[in-house]
Structure 1
Amino acid sequence: MNTDTTTITEKSSWRDYYDLCKPKVVALLLLTSIVGVVLASPPGEISIFILVMSTLGIGLGAAAGAAINQIVERESDARMDRTENRPLPQGRVSQQHAFIFAMLMAAASVFILTAWINVLTAALTFASMIGYAVVYTMYLKKATPQNIVIGGLAGAAPPLLGWASVTGTIDAHALLLVLIIYTWTPPHFWALAIHRRDDYAKVNLPMLPVTHGIEFTKYSILGYTILMFMVTLLPYLAYMRGEFYLVSAVILGLYFFYKVFLLMFSSRKNAAIMTFVYSINYLMLLFISMVIDHYFSNEINQFLCGTVQYNCF
């Protein structure tokens, strides 16, 4: 082992490897996969074993993809204010050790899901990991300002993975959840890209605000927000979810529009990052509302309607 690697290893801590996993991103992905498990299970009949093992396997796959992403982008990360303190640019973890760590997590993910869940979930999880770590990170991100649109499917997959963990099939309702996250991703990410435009320009990444300007990006965010809002109504229109979800989706969506309008027309310097932050809370609350509706739809309708008759709207 050479001296540089030894020095890096001695400075490494569990926290550095934890940071390689992008824990906040993975946590949001796991929330949506857990919701997929819950919605695919009849109320009160959820398998704790499937919930735990699928969450572990999907989480390890997502973390492996995040670590590979940081290995590939270590040089550009070192030049960006937002990412310069990550473990690889700072030399706290070597590229070799990060790669071994990522491969161990990827292997553990495939093994857990194949052995204790089902082959379909293992295959879909592996495919989404490759989609993010290889297709998006290595190619799309540097090739086109539509990178997040084309590559967004990988990040939208977790609810399908959770659903498939229970059913072993690709269900149309699960694909609706994927579509929600897919249409949510551009306004979510482009808001951050506006806030960090100079960072991306510095490393020549063709993010939409860099290639087409901030104003064009704002209108693109509005367009995708309209599309996202319409898509979030589909679970109700498809009789997948009830009135509580519908009301929640409308309220959360209208506030999303408010944030987007502030981004477009106000002079607040923090409007972009505030839109980005709300988009995270929006997705969390939207998916949580599905779980509440799943378990308590009858009780909620009785309360709202003042009668024991279901579906009185």
Structure 2
Amino acid sequence: MSKPISLTQPTTISLQWRAYFEMTKPKVVALMLLTVLVGMCLALPHTVPLQPLVFGLLGIGLMSGSAAAFNHLIDRRIDGLMARTYNRPLPKGKISTVKASTFAVSIGLLGFVLLYALVNPLTAWLTFASLIGYAVIYTAYLKRATPQNIVIGGLAGAMPPLLGWTAVTNELHGNALLLVIIIFTWTPPHFWALAIHRQKEYAKVDIPMLPVTHGIEFTKTCILLYTLLLAIACLLPVLVGMSGPLYLIGSTLLSCGFIVKAWQLKYRDKPGFAMNVFKFSIYHLMILFIVLLVDHYLWVN
């Protein structure tokens, strides 16, 4: 008799799909899609049309997942040497390189077709440019070439609100670029905090992150200065009349919180605090864009 399958044990197919899903960096993509949604909503005074809303989020989500999967592919060697990433699907052999490549190309192509056919070509090509910027220019080149990798490469990761804006308007607009500036300015202090926490691991795999090349204290100073710059960037939607008093109050409180965290990291650091700053930065961006969204619908009415 064949041995019965235990209902408590995951099947091979289930494990494979979990591995594919992990390659798309779902938590990162979810945060990106929040900023896409806010970009869509801020582009219009009232309701976002259903077709660009659904297929815009789906297409951008698929192409973002594709970029993340390419990141897993390109970084599979160094991922296997770092404590933070050694358990990823490719270093662990859960998925072959060929299958991972096929998966990355397939969902990227599907996302592009959906955007091109059911949203608009402008959004499709801009999302493709973001994919190339993150997967090729940043991951394959900048990450290994310069300690300013996250500053230069951060532009690709800052594009989602612009993609949301173009998805519903089919045009570029200066207000959308202000949202890009916010994320672009947010990215270095966000990632440098993680880089401080993982400094020895990056040094071991010869990745020239700022704490490796210029030291932890210099990086802490840069984080503090960038949080000050971010506070100014967060005020731009108010200065141009895109957002109202609720956002002004919310963004000011969030900026003050980030500045305090960065100051503590620089002058009152303790073991593990850099990771605390990294986690705070994620909530900072998430709450900031939620406040942007709520303020928009209060302000237009």
Q: Secondary structure, in 3 states, of the residue corresponding to 1:61?
A: helix
**Partner of 2:3 in structure 1?**
none
Say yes or no: does 1:53 pair with 2:79.
Answer: no
Q: Is the 8 A contact 1:11 1:92 kept in 2?
A: no
Partner of 1:3: none
Q: Which residue of 1 aligns with 2:255?
A: 253
**Map 1:148-227 → 2, pairs under 5 A:** 148-227=150-229
Give the unaligned 5+ runs of structure 1. 1-8, 300-313
Give the distance between the partners of 2:233 and 2:268, measured in 1 at CA.
27
Deviations for 1:113-142, whole angstroms, at most 9, x for unmatched residues? 001000000000000000000000010000
Q: Report sequence identity in percent.
A: 53
Instruction: Please point out which of 17, 20, 24 is paired with 2:20.
Output: 17
Residue identity in the other structure for 2:219: T
Q: 2:74 aligns with which of 72, 75, 82?
A: 72
The equivalences for 1:38-187 within 5 A come to 38-43=41-46, 45-187=47-189
Question: What is the CA-CA distance between 1:13 and the residue it aligns to?
Answer: 1.5
- Structure 2 residue matching 1:13: 3-state secondary structure: helix
SS in 1 for 2:84: coil
- CA displacement, residues 42-100 of structure 1 (integer Å, 9 cap, x when unaligned): 22x22122111100000011000000011011000000000000000000000000000
Q: Say whether 1:35 aligns with 2:38.
A: yes
TM-score of the superposed pair, with normalisation by structure 1? 0.91
Distance in 1 (CA, whole Å) between partners of 2:170 and 2:57 is: 15
Q: Is the 8 A contact 2:142 2:149 kept in 1?
A: yes
SS at match of 1:151: helix
In 2, Cα distance between equivalents of 1:293 and 1:11: 41
- Measured after TM superposition, the shift of residue 298 of structure 1 is 6.5
CA contact (8 A) 2:45 2:300 kept: no
In structure 2, distance between residues paired with 1:163 and 1:297: 18
Indicate the residue corresponding to 2:7 in structure 1.
none
Aligned length: 290
- The whole-number CA distance in structure 2 between the counterparts of 1:236 and 1:39 is 13
Q: TM-score, normalised by structure 2?
A: 0.94
Q: Using the TM superposition, give the Cα deviation of residue 297 of structure 1 relative to its aligned residue in structure 2, in angstroms.
A: 2.4
Query: Residue 289 of structure 1 corresponds to which residue in structure 2?
Result: 291
* Equivalent residue in structure 1 for 2:238, among 233, 236, 241: 236
Q: Which moved more, 1:268-277 or 1:9-18?
A: 9-18
2:284 alignment partner AA: Y
Tell me, in whole angstroms, the C-alpha distance in 1 between the residues paired with 2:92 and 2:209: 25
Q: What is the SS of the residue equivalent to 2:48?
A: coil
For 2:272, give the aligned amino acid.
Answer: N
4+ residue segments displaced more than 3 Å: 9-12
Structure 2 CA distance, aligned partners of 1:272 and 1:81?
Answer: 16
The answer as to whether partners of 2:182 and 2:233 remain within 8 angstroms in 1 is yes
Moved more, 289-298 or 194-203: 289-298
Paired letter, 1:22:
K
Conserved 8 A contact 1:186-1:221: yes
